[in-house]
Amino acid sequence: MRGIRFAPRLNERDKSMDNEDKINIPHLAMLARLSLDEAATQRAEHELHNIIDMIDQMQAVDTSDVIPMAHPLDAEQRLRSDQVTEQVDRERFQRNAPATAEGYYLVPRVVE
């Protein structure tokens, strides 16, 4: 993405941030149509760096022996049987329609 700079990996970043490590918060705020004062800009940059650091920490974890799963619990969804529980009275509903034919609603043509 042009104009957005992300922080390098956690282990490569030192405590003093130079211009390469800064996230372009004013540009992000402009894209999101937000008006941020200086304090909000600094807070947003700090929070985004924390998020990026957390993602870096999660990516550093070795998950090669972990089996992928769809849900953390061994639970099965209780499904009801697929049965018709009510009947639609089409004739009663179509009595209020301006025009019907063979069980279908007739509408004026809108595309020529």
pLDDT string in tens for the chain (112-residue length):
444 555 454 444 444 444 456 789 999 999 999 999 999 999 999 999 999 999 999 999 999 998 888 888 887 878 888 888 888 889 899 999 999 999 999 999 888 7
10 falls within a domain: yes
Domain that holds residue 44: 1-61
92 falls within a domain: no
Say how far apart CA 72 and CA 77 lie, in whole Å.
Answer: 13
Amino acid at 3: G
13 burial (CB, 10 Å; 0-12 / 13-18 / 19+) is middle
pTM higher than 0.75: no
Number of domains the chain is built from? 1
41 falls within a domain: yes
